[in-house]
Amino acid sequence: MLAWKRNRRVVLGVSGGIAAYKAAEIVRLLRNCGCDVEVVMTEDAERFVSPLTLAALSGRRVWRQSDYLSAEYGCAIPHISLADWAEVVMVAPLTANTMAGIAHGTAKSLLESVVLATTAPVLLFPAMNIHMLENAATRMNTGTLRERGYTVVDPDEGYLACGYEAKGRLPSPEIIIQEMWRVLCPNKGLASKRVLVTSGPTWEFLDPVRFIGNPSSGKMGRAVAQTAWYRGADVTLVEGPVSLDAPYGMERIPVVSALDMYEAVLSRSSDCDIIVKAAAVGDFRPEKREEGKVKREGLDRLSISLVQNPDIAQELGARKREGQILVGFAAESSDLIAHASEKIRKKGLDFIVANDITAEGAGFRSDTNRVVFIFPDGTTRDSEGSKEDVADVLWDIVSSLQGRAEK
């Protein structure tokens, strides 16, 4: 886990809509991430989910409307102490009623007062009937909150409890956590930057059922794309066949073969500020793809003629425009530094991320990586940890290159 994600202090506000039941899963995920969580419920929220449930999951008492202006706490004022303690305040779900109260600063509830008093980032997740969502009052309140610097995340589309199938669903707890990480990320150096990342393997089919491929999981490329999104980038992910859940917050272009990836990347490269080639692209493909399945009957052996695939990174290097940053990856099994360094020169890379696939904790499908960042002047920098940790170091290096270019 990235260092800045650890031990974060989160106030989770829960208002009174049917989606309040998802608060239990949100709290569970936050605790699994190591966050300390204080839950603040409106009076109506308690009609949908028990405070006892959220107290058990958070490991802390739940703050209720009855605690607002209570004499029980003496000099401690709950809405001020919670507002000061929080590193981020989230409200999920946010009903139209609570939204209006926050937008107009009425402070009629403990939750509204916490939001009004905090100086921490505020994330709001509206969830309501589609007609309520599209009402002029709700649209005006949403605009007001965004103008004040609050992050208002649009609801999802899908089946609503009221019977409509439309926009208005609370996003999944996993998406809510991702939005929180993006707000909390301390480095926003990629804001407004257009980033393209390639990820995963390529498959080169021999016939309709067999292919030549590699065991890349796509985890490293995903980590690169996700951490770029945390830092504010507009991310496009060109990804080969992987068994990972769909990424959030970015455009994903699925491809299969090296030629597919070549076309997808080259058609988008000119508009990108930064390109990171993290995919494990096949160097060769069958010269001929059989239309039907090759049968084993009558064959003692099978010879396959292979031809080279185009070198995507080399083509990008040839087309590279001024100010564009190009980063490559090299998976090697011997002479790591020498082989990777040659690729920097040949492909016009700004730097390359090299890893020895035979090393423990650095092979395909691993959740960790051990890499060497190699630069055109021959200097190197070692990094190891989770793939997210390695990706974060990559973006630190990119940021330093951007800083030099802007001077």
Asked whether residue 19 falls in the same domain as residue 80, the answer is yes
| Three-state DSSP class for residue 40 | strand
Q: How far apart are the C-alpha atoms of 219 and 200, rounded to whole Å?
A: 8
Asked whether residue 180 falls in the same domain as residue 280, the answer is no
Catalytic hit among 35, 162, 185, 272: 162
162 in a domain, yes or no? yes
Asked whether residue 99 falls in the same domain as residue 163, the answer is yes
374 φ, ψ (degrees, to nearest 5)? -120, 135
Residues of the chain with pLDDT under 50: none
Asked whether residue 147 falls in the same domain as residue 94, the answer is yes
Asked whether residue 223 falls in the same domain as residue 92, the answer is no
Give 279-311 as a DSSP string: -B--SEEESS--SSPPP-TT-S-----EEEPP-
Check residue 161 and report its DSSP letter: T
Asked whether residue 115 falls in the same domain as residue 228, the answer is no
Domain boundary residue, one of 130, 162, 184: 184
**Residues near 289 by beta carbon (within 8 Å), at least 6 away in sequence:** 205, 206, 207
Give 258-278 as a DSSP string: HHHHHHHHHTTGGG-SEEEE-
315 in a domain, yes or no? yes
**Residues near 41 by beta carbon (within 8 Å), at least 6 away in sequence:** 13, 14, 49, 51, 54, 62, 63, 64, 65, 111
| Three-state DSSP class for residue 229 | helix
174 in a domain, yes or no? yes
Domain boundary residue, one of 135, 166, 184: 184
271 in a domain, yes or no? yes
Asked whether residue 53 falls in the same domain as residue 114, the answer is yes
Asked whether residue 198 falls in the same domain as residue 124, the answer is no
pLDDT at residue 206, rounded to an integer: 96
**Residues near 313 by beta carbon (within 8 Å), at least 6 away in sequence:** 277, 326, 328, 343, 347, 349
Mean pLDDT (the chain) is: 95
Q: How far apart are the C-alpha atoms of 129 and 116, rounded to whole Å?
A: 25
The candidate with the shortest Cα–Cα distance to 79, out of 91, 70, 90, is 70
pLDDT at residue 358, rounded to an integer: 87
Asked whether residue 99 falls in the same domain as residue 215, the answer is no
pLDDT at residue 73, rounded to an integer: 62
Q: By 3-state DSSP, what share of the chain in percent is helix, strand and coil, each rounded to 5?
A: 40, 25, 40
Question: Structurally, how many domains does the chain consist of?
Answer: 2
**172 exposure class (CB count in 10 Å sphere: 0-12, 13-18, 19+):** middle
pLDDT at residue 404, rounded to an integer: 74
1 in a domain, yes or no? no
Q: Which amino acid is at 190?
A: L
pLDDT at residue 364, rounded to an integer: 84
| Three-state DSSP class for residue 84 | helix
In this structure, how many other beta carbons lie within 10 angstroms of the beta carbon of residue 314? 15
**CATH code for position 113:** 3.40.50.1950
189 in a domain, yes or no? no
For the entire predicted model, the pTM comes to: 0.94
pLDDT at residue 256, rounded to an integer: 98
Q: How far apart are the C-alpha atoms of 187 and 206, rounded to whole Å?
A: 45
| Three-state DSSP class for residue 126 | strand
Structural tokens at position 219: 């985890």
219 in a domain, yes or no? yes
Verify cis geometry, omega within 30 degrees of 0, for the bond prior to 254: no
Asked whether residue 180 falls in the same domain as residue 198, the answer is no
Domain boundary residue, one of 161, 184, 207: 184
In the chain the first and final C-alpha atoms are separated, in Å, by 33
**CATH code for position 265:** 3.40.50.10300
Parent domain of 344: 194-290+302-406
Tell me, yes or no, if 162 is annotated catalytic: yes
**378 exposure class (CB count in 10 Å sphere: 0-12, 13-18, 19+):** exposed
Check residue 363 and report its DSSP letter: S
Asked whether residue 170 falls in the same domain as residue 229, the answer is no
Report the Cα 369 to chain-centroid distance in Å: 19
Length of the chain in residues, anyone?
407
Asked whether residue 215 falls in the same domain as residue 317, the answer is yes
297 in a domain, yes or no? no
